[in-house]
Amino acid sequence: MPTEPTANQPVAGGDASGASLPQPDARSEALSEQALARRTQERRALRIGIGVTLTFVIALAYDWTLAYLAPIFTAPLLQGPVAPTLRAALGILLATIAIMLACLLAAGFSQTYPALFLIALFPALFWTFRSGLRGGSSLVLILLLVGLMLLPMVASTTVEITRDVAGSFIGNIGLSLVVTMLMFGLLPPLPSEPARVPKPVLPAAEVDRRAWILTAVTGSYAVAYFSFGWTNVHTPIYIAVYAYSANLARGLRVTKGILAANVAAGLLTVVMYQLTVMTPHFPFLAALVLTVNLILARMITSDAPWAPLAGFALSVVMILYGESIIPFSDDGGSNFGDRLGELGMAALYAVGALYVLDAYFPARPAALGKGQEPRASENG
């Protein structure tokens, strides 16, 4: 005799009480994971956007030498999974002071013995780039490049402000560390936030090859700078950073993306500058910078393949916009145009020179190691 199905027995043919039960559970779990991922990205974006804006506003208010560069140090610190500990922050600050003091001596040496300085510059640049390619701190790399190139070049044009420039980088790093620790305290990281991605390990021969190429690209411009008496002291730093970033990208498609990101950032900054000229009030300026930084920060924290390019765009916007309006001056438009031209020229020179040298001195497959051979899809 057939019996009525009980509550624990599925009905023949299956219905909502049978095999279809896990489907709503799986869907709910997927939606929950998406919501958690979105919340994590938005929290990181708030931390980056507000932190970079706070740094920018403080720099604008106090206007020390090269204050507009402070936000570009804050951004990468805020992109980390955790804030630096107090001990680590003090270590970074002490390292910055030591680097700036040593490079002040190098700047004085460059004025007394310029030829010997240029000869010594090449092995110093090689050691710096090699340390970075071996997994060293990107922040220390930038500070070393600033000390080796910017300070001697400033000394060749205006000796009086060389110490101010060195001191400004100590202040910029100190402010960036304080803001970073403050933002991580106000918006602590969630357990779901991604861990720091380790840098790829390259064979020693490939590290040396890339370091020598970067040294040639950067050092040759430094020689031309001193030889022809140029005064655009920022350009060599931009060249070094662009070349290093493109060298890490190792793909023409990614490098084109870096160039495109900088072009887009330049156009965005033009709009920001014109809006500031029309409404030159501090509250409007702060609100404008916060809006742009939050949008770019949300792009940085997204899962899109072009997310890292938003980081380049953020740095370019802060450099261009910062120097054009810090302080509010009549020559802001001139500064903006000059810096936009410098950034464009630096990007084109760095990427072009890098690929020419890379073509003449290609990597050996044995040096790349197993699984690191360049793929054709990266070069299209």
Query: Is the residue at 2 inside a domain?
Result: no
Query: Is the residue at 368 inside a domain?
Result: no
The C-alpha atoms of residue 138 and residue 4 are separated, in whole angstroms, by: 71
Is the preceding peptide bond at 327 cis, omega within 30 degrees of 0?
A: yes
Q: Count helices and strands (H / E) in the chain.
A: 14, 0
Give the single-character DSSP code of 5. Answer: -
Q: Please list, in sequence order, all residues whose beta carbon lies within 8 angstroms of the beta carbon of residue 188, skipping any fewer than 6 positions away.
A: none
CA 354 from centroid of its chain's CA atoms? 19
Which token pair is 271?
Answer: 């709009």
Which SS3 state, helix, strand or coil, does residue 136 take? coil
Query: Is the residue at 297 inside a domain?
Result: yes
The model's pLDDT over 173-226, given as tens digits with 9 standing for 90+, comes to 999 999 999 999 999 988 877 777 777 777 888 889 989 988 998 888 888 888
Q: Highest mean pLDDT: which of 161-170, 235-244, 251-260, 360-369?
A: 161-170
Query: Is the residue at 370 inside a domain?
Result: no
Angle between helices 204-228 and 235-249 (to 10 degrees): 160
Query: Is the residue at 146 inside a domain?
Result: yes
Q: Shortest CA distance to 117 belongs to which of 160, 159, 161, 147? A: 147
**pLDDT greater than 90 at residue 74:** yes
Percent of the chain with pLDDT over 70: 80
Query: Is the residue at 241 inside a domain?
Result: yes
Identify which has the larger pLDDT, 323 or 219.
219
The C-alpha atoms of residue 342 and residue 364 are separated, in whole angstroms, by: 34
CA 278 from centroid of its chain's CA atoms? 30
Give the single-character DSSP code of 237. Answer: H
The confidence band for 89, taking pLDDT boundaries of 50, 70 and 90, is: very high
Which residue segment(s) compose the domain that 230 sits in?
40-191+200-363
Q: Shortest CA distance to 261 belongs to which of 317, 188, 304, 205? A: 317
Number of domains in the chain: 1
Query: Is the residue at 208 inside a domain?
Result: yes
Query: Is the residue at 259 inside a domain?
Result: yes
Q: Global pTM?
A: 0.79
The C-alpha atoms of residue 282 and residue 140 are separated, in whole angstroms, by: 33
